[in-house]
Amino acid sequence: MNYETVIGLEIHVQLKTQSKLFCGCSTRSAYERDVPPNRHICPICTGHPGVLPRPINRKAVELAVRLASAVRSSIHPESDFDRKNYFYADLPKGYQITQHGKPLAEGGFIDFILDGIDQRIDLNHMHLEEDPGKSKIEGGVWLVDMNRCGVPLVEIVTQPDLRSASEAAAFVTEFRRIVRYLGVSEGNMEMGNLRCDANVSIRPSSSDPLGVKTEIKNLNSIRFLEDAVNWEIKRQIRVLNAGGVIKQITIAWDDQVKEGQLSREKESEADYRYFREPNLIPVAISEAFIADASIDLPELPARRLRRYIREHEISPSDAVTLIDERSVADYFESVLMIYSGATKRAADWVRNHVLRALNDPENAFNQINELPVTAEYLAELLDLMDAGVISDALGPQIFQKIIETGRSPKQIIEQEGLRPPEEDDLIQIIDQVLADDPETVRRYREGNDKVLNRLIGQVMKQTRGRADAQKVRCLLIERADAL
Ligand code: ADP
Ligand code: ZN
Ligand code: MG
């Protein structure tokens, strides 16, 4: 029997603020490895009796509003905080401050492209909340780290619009790009800056009512998400085909064994005994605040991707590489503004040379704005090659020299004597190469064109790669034929 899969995601994103949501503690542990446990904590975020939350971190609200505005979510002029009560070792207060009744924003959508097809997934709502701490069992001891307690989160909840694990993966990939483009989160899944819960159900056909869903908790990599959802779809199909029913449970994904662990039946909403947080006033968000938070909203990555494919005729897979990081795409566009040659050539250079230099552990920079080969320098280098001032073969070498010296392509060409040889000099070199290798010349003259490459290679070597290979070829043929 065939089934249709239905997936809805709840994604938690840590907002990139300096301090926590309701106290002044640093959020550093979310971005740096090796922060000792329980280093950035205070009585507020560890829930000492009688302490009160500070007024909300304004920057967190600003970042959440920026995100809401970018995905066209409608922001409520006023939203409230509630307590979600539950007991867990990493939740010292015994409740999490979240937004339940009146969340920050509702609706909105996220566009992405999967296998060349435009997709739009609607959002249900978006709310602010505080992160709980972390706990783990090690050597039979339960360890608790409260550094994360109170780190600001925004949670976005999608409609049950996704239809496969790969669609869910593409959605999260796009969402991660968006938060990074907007600068609202680092979006580093390994560090836990972005985690998602996947709600999964199946039904015989798309005209049937939705099936009972299960919830896979806390997936912190896109591959885990895909594996876990596929595993769960198979499990549900097995259960239904065996005449069973799906129970509404939560599942923890174990990536070691690639299996889900079915846990407790899900709490119902009543179990959390939500009520208004009495120590916080509502968050009032004015039009002016929204306008400020939304200043300079960038073109979103999916739009950029579509534009590159349509306008620049860049292949979809190359275009994805270019748009993945906003800084790289911005760099590419700066090159295009200055460079007078073909877009494809600029794209290839950014993908091959620029990205390789960025990813090379030998290089001390890891951001494109630290790369000595600025957009201006790359455009200059490409223009010099196109104009034949230097040979194409020398391009990568000069690129590397710019990285080493920080000098401009023109300076390097002058100082290193990399201009191509004058034609007279080139002819002299060619004649010498021909004279030195009479055997190869004989074979060429007998009609064996392939040996020509050996002679060209010799000339290029003599000129230290400065000569234009095409020109060498023409001159060689001319001189050899005239012998
Ligand atoms: P709950 O109250 O159990 O948390 P919600 O209605 O708040 O459920 O939805 C939580 C998430 O589950 C949302 O992303 C929603 O789109 C998704 N979802 C709801 N019903 C289903 C279903 N039958 N199958 C798959 N996902 C679903
Ligand atoms: Zn604190
Ligand atoms: Mg819910």
- Segment 283-319, tens digit of pLDDT: 999 999 999 999 999 999 999 999 999 988 899 999 9
> What is the DSSP annotation of 332-364?
HHHHHHH--S-HHHHHHHIIIIIHHHHH-TTSS
Taking a C-beta distance cutoff of 8 angstroms, is the pair 8, 159 a contact?
yes
Which ligand is nearest the CA of 47, by number? 2
Can you name the residues that pair with 118 across neighbouring β-strands? 113
What DSSP character marks residue 26?
Answer: B
What DSSP character marks residue 162?
Answer: B
Taking a C-beta distance cutoff of 8 angstroms, is the pair 78, 285 a contact?
yes
Single residue among 415, 441, 466 that ends a domain in this structure = 415
Examine the domain organization and report whether 342 and 450 are in the same domain: no
Examine the domain organization and report whether 325 and 273 are in the same domain: no
Examine the domain organization and report whether 220 and 308 are in the same domain: no
pLDDT by position in tens, the chain (length 483): 799 999 999 999 999 999 999 999 999 999 999 999 999 999 999 999 999 999 999 999 999 999 999 999 999 999 999 999 999 999 999 999 999 999 999 999 999 999 889 999 999 999 999 999 999 999 999 999 999 999 999 999 999 999 999 999 999 999 999 999 999 999 999 999 999 999 999 999 999 999 999 999 999 999 999 999 999 999 999 999 999 999 999 999 999 999 999 987 766 777 899 999 999 999 999 999 999 999 999 999 999 999 999 988 899 999 999 999 999 999 999 999 999 999 999 999 999 999 999 999 888 887 899 999 999 999 999 999 998 888 888 899 999 999 999 999 999 988 888 777 888 888 999 999 999 999 999 999 888 888 888 899 888 888 877 788 888 899 999 998 887
Examine the domain organization and report whether 435 and 401 are in the same domain: no
Examine the domain organization and report whether 409 and 431 are in the same domain: no
Nearest to 235 by CA among 74, 3, 472, 480: 3
Examine the domain organization and report whether 339 and 436 are in the same domain: no
Which ligand is nearest the CA of 99, by number? 3
Q: How far is the CA of 126 from the centre of ligand 3 (A)?
A: 11
Domain count, the chain: 3
Examine the domain organization and report whether 81 and 46 are in the same domain: yes
Nearest to 14 by CA among 224, 176, 173, 162: 176
Examine the domain organization and report whether 308 and 242 are in the same domain: no
- Tell me the CA distances in angstroms from 75 to 72, 127, 175, 177, 300, one per residue in order: 9, 10, 19, 22, 19
| CATH at 476 | 1.10.10.410
What distance in Å separates the CA atoms of residue 401 and residue 8, rounded to the nearest whole number?
A: 50
CB within 6 Å of ligand 1 — which residues? 6-10, 124, 157-160, 199-201, 210-211, 213
Examine the domain organization and report whether 44 and 103 are in the same domain: yes
Give per-residue pLDDT as tens, 259-282. 999 987 766 777 899 999 999 999
Can you name the residues that pair with 137 across neighbouring β-strands? 142
Single residue among 277, 293, 309 that ends a domain in this structure = 293
Atom of ligand 1 nearest to the CA of 9: 14
Which tokens belong to 269? 């909403």
Which ligand is nearest the CA of 211, by number? 1
User: CB within 8 A of 428, min separation 6: which ones?
Assistant: none
Q: 449 lies in which domain range? A: 423-481
What distance in Å separates the CA atoms of residue 258 and residue 263, rounded to the nearest whole number?
A: 16
Examine the domain organization and report whether 116 and 76 are in the same domain: yes
Which tokens belong to 95? 């409740």
Q: Which of 122, 158, 161, 213 to mutate to test the pocket of ligand 1 (most atoms within 8 A of CB)?
A: 213
Examine the domain organization and report whether 411 and 428 are in the same domain: no
Examine the domain organization and report whether 91 and 221 are in the same domain: yes
Using CA positions, which residue lies closest to atom 7 of ligand 1?
A: 157
Atom of ligand 1 nearest to the CA of 160: 16
Give per-residue pLDDT as tens, 437-467. 999 999 998 888 888 888 998 888 888 777 8
